[in-house]
Amino acid sequence: MRAISSMATRHLLAELREAAVDAGFPATEIESMGGVDAEQLVASGEQIDLVFLSEGALRRLADARHVDAATVTPLVLSQVAIAMASGSPGPAGRPDGTAFADAAGVQAALRAAGRIGYSTGPSGTALVRMIEEWGLTEELGERLVQARPGIPVAASLATGDVDLGFQQLSELAGHPGVRILGVLPGDCAIDTVFAGAVAIASDDPTHAEELLSFLASDAVVPLKTAHGFRAL
């Protein structure tokens, strides 16, 4: 079988694939790319069996009859975190780099930062919208730098292309050269549900749905939490 996913879940899905093989399922080829590109590829009608994207993207694809709406299955909750390059001083006069207590702390960090990296896809869109609601869009201006599709914000942090980065915790965790400051606090949290669905173009929808059920089972919860996700 062939599957497609956004970059945010690629590491998790690689381990889930191996767990599925150990459980007796056939090996699945999983191609990961930027979420926008993945959604467009599925919409093009290309032969794909399983699709792993944000729940919102899958609902759009279901409405357009590119995935089977009845099979859309929430898998994990992803939280957006803030990070800097390793060795950089903490933002906004906080050298200890502890997590932010509230939105005011995040706003202060944004104002003090040089270049600010954010991702493509739903989390990046939500961050830009929140910055607009705070009235900071004009002030931050060109300091806001959107990562190219398929390029994690963590890579831009590690190379010094941006000074402060916002991306899903699962994408930042374990990346060399990156220091995670914490997830966004409750009053400005950005959470994304990632889900799976069987594509209408699937050659084997029955087995694809069986595999999806396994990936939503309690058997793989430890793998999800180990990658910085919350199992659903």
Residue 228: predicted pLDDT:
87
Residue 148: predicted pLDDT:
83
The alpha carbon of residue 186 and the mean position of all alpha carbons in its chain are separated, in whole angstroms, by 18
Q: Are residues 142 and 169 in the same domain?
A: yes
Residue 120: predicted pLDDT:
80
Please tell me the number of Cα atoms within 13 Å of 230 on its side-chain side: 9
State the residue range of the domain holding 184.
78-188
Q: Are residues 71 and 15 in the same domain?
A: yes
Q: Are residues 8 and 107 in the same domain?
A: no
- Percent of the chain scored above 90 by pLDDT? 78
Between 22-36, 80-94, 193-207, the lowest mean confidence (pLDDT) is in 80-94
Residue 69 and residue 135: Cα distance in Å, rounded? 38
Query: What's the CATH code of the domain at 221?
Result: 3.40.190.10
Average pLDDT over residues 96-102: 68
Q: Are residues 83 and 110 in the same domain?
A: yes
Q: Is the pLDDT confidence value at 97 over 50?
A: no
Residue 129 and residue 110: Cα distance in Å, rounded? 14
Q: Are residues 36 and 110 in the same domain?
A: no
For residues 118 and 153, the answer to whether their CB atoms sit within 8 Å is yes
For residue range 117-158, list pLDDT tens digits in order.
998 877 889 999 999 999 999 999 999 999 987 788 999 999
Q: Are residues 24 and 88 in the same domain?
A: no
Residue 78 and residue 171: Cα distance in Å, rounded? 10
Average pLDDT over residues 213-226: 97
pLDDT band, very low/low/confident/very high, at 24 (cuts 50, 70, 90): very high
pLDDT band, very low/low/confident/very high, at 91 (cuts 50, 70, 90): low
Of the residues 188, 203, 223, the one at which a domain ends: 188
- Run of H or E residues at 91: none
pLDDT band, very low/low/confident/very high, at 195 (cuts 50, 70, 90): very high
Q: Are residues 38 and 68 in the same domain?
A: yes
| Domain tally, the chain | 2
- Percent of the chain scored above 70 by pLDDT? 95
